[in-house]
Structure 1
């Protein structure tokens, strides 16, 4: 469907790098930015999916796109990928730190390796990509967009490692924003609520294996396309913080000022627990 914002020229020919770009919000962002005329660099782990997405973007959106297989937890691989992107396109205008993984297990039953892997992807992945892209972003007065979560300011049960990684992102990028003041680089933290993606399908359990989780009892779930559209509009306005859930403001308020009430009333619901259940 045609939208007036398609005519906006802000991102036309701009180089946008998206991590975890083959599925969910990352893929929806790739489609939306391709419609806006951006040139895309997409990092993901699956080469087949990357090739398919790049071909789709070229065929259906006439988009100049580059797909690179890269584990963002690997600092050297990230440096090499961003060097290739800069060689191909001349630099990077927008970095979208979207790649992330989650888990569902109590702190006590979660092995150390799970904490390390989640921090390696969710937190250090953003560190690696931002460090490698920062000189280009400063030179082009670009943008850094970071996919955080509802759990960035309100905890969710059985996701201690995931929650910690999102809190760490806020600490890092709020500091970086202050350090970049006057550079022309905008930093936008995005906090979606529950979104229909494959994140839970690939969730880890306590021993580090993957186990598909049943749907959460959380009410309305946003589509990846709607979240991507909101992020696109937020990027146009160079927002600092984008909160995208109809329950987030309550969670934020209660968790900050009424923590006991939050733990009793809202935390079980946000964590997907049915009334009267403990897990």
Structure 2
């Protein structure tokens, strides 16, 4: 029997990019999918799409930065589905602006969604996960271990996730709840099209991806296979261990060279003043 058949998988930011691909992949593996997102129209359409493919899916409107709303949402999932076996903290936003020009509100909003959103969801789902001896999968980034150009708020939020979930893994060891951090490389999603500018507004100059990018479906498939093996850390193949080792052992060189080259954003766009 497939590992995730009849298991409840809750996915935040479920309607776009990697979240959508994860819902499809785990659903194809027999899981029941709890879709969490802030876009009601997309939630309804995607739930219908999954149902048409014989995937058991239910939609939940949820702003992960709102702890009361998150708590209510996860209680509803437990009431509806009876268990929470896998939590995938996928919801996230980014920005593209230099530190000196970036309004503090951008840092707060980025942390509210990327860090506190994962924290709220994990706390709300924790009792259910302990009861099912389940899994927590949290989407980090290359930014979780390496500096990237004009992404200081985003990088800070991802570093914070590593600190939180590395510690949580230790605390949950005796309860048989598994924790995995995932660091995708550059992936063809809409996150860059909706990047915040220095003043907190959404960019009207969508960032152009450069370099090797992978697809959300490929990312979801790697995560699915890693979840089956209960890995602690998954670094995607288009980043690989060498970039992580380079960033850790030779940070000065990495910052001077790779931080400019390996950003996923074209040089002309990096030089724009937003």
Relative to the length of structure 1, the TM-score reads 0.93
**Cα deviation code 1:45-85 (max 9, x no counterpart):** 1101000111111111x122111111000000000100110
SS in 1 for 2:223: helix
Give the one of 48, 53, 72 matched to 2:46: 53
Q: In the alignment, does 2:188 pair up with 1:196?
A: yes
Question: Partner residue of 2:251?
Answer: 259
Offset, 1:245 = 3.4
Please give the alpha-carbon distance, in whole angstroms, between the structure 2 residues aligned to 1:72 and 1:241.
23
Q: Do the aligned partners of residues 216 and 57 (structure 1) sit closer, same or farther apart at CA in structure 2, a change above 3 Å counting?
A: closer
Q: In the alignment, does 2:7 pair up with 1:14?
A: yes
Q: Gaps spanning 5+ residues in structure 1: where?
A: 1-7
Greater shift after overlay, 157-166 or 241-250? 241-250
Question: Partner residue of 2:106?
Answer: 114
Offset, 1:278 = 5.1
Question: Partner residue of 2:155?
Answer: 163
CA contact (8 A) 2:15 2:42 kept: yes
Question: Partner residue of 1:30?
Answer: 23
What is the count of residue pairs matched by the alignment? 269
Q: In the alignment, does 2:75 pair up with 1:93?
A: no
Offset, 1:200 = 0.4
What is the root-mean-square deviation of aligned Cα atoms in Å? 1.4
SS in 2 for 1:222: coil
Alignment of 1:140-219 (within 5 A): 140-211=132-203, 212-217=205-210, 219=211
**Cα deviation code 1:115-155 (max 9, x no counterpart):** 10000000000000000000010010000000000010001
Question: Partner residue of 2:55?
Answer: 63
Offset, 1:273 = 5.0
CA contact (8 A) 2:98 2:152 kept: yes
SS in 2 for 1:11: coil
Offset, 1:250 = 3.0
Question: Partner residue of 1:274?
Answer: 267
Offset, 1:258 = 1.1
Offset, 1:251 = 2.5
Please give the alpha-carbon distance, in whole angstroms, between the structure 2 residues aligned to 1:248 and 1:203.
25
Please give the alpha-carbon distance, in whole angstroms, between the structure 2 residues aligned to 1:190 and 1:123.
14
Q: Do the aligned partners of residues 88 and 247 (structure 1) sit closer, same or farther apart at CA in structure 2, a change above 3 Å counting?
A: closer
Point out 4+ residue stretches in structure 1 off by more than 4 angstroms: none
Please give the alpha-carbon distance, in whole angstroms, between the structure 2 residues aligned to 1:132 and 1:247.
32
Q: In the alignment, does 2:150 pair up with 1:127?
A: no
Question: Partner residue of 1:240?
Answer: 232
CA contact (8 A) 2:86 2:134 kept: yes
Offset, 1:216 = 3.1
CA contact (8 A) 1:150 1:248 kept: no
Q: Gaps spanning 5+ residues in structure 2: where?
A: none
Question: Partner residue of 1:3?
Answer: none
CA contact (8 A) 2:184 2:239 kept: no
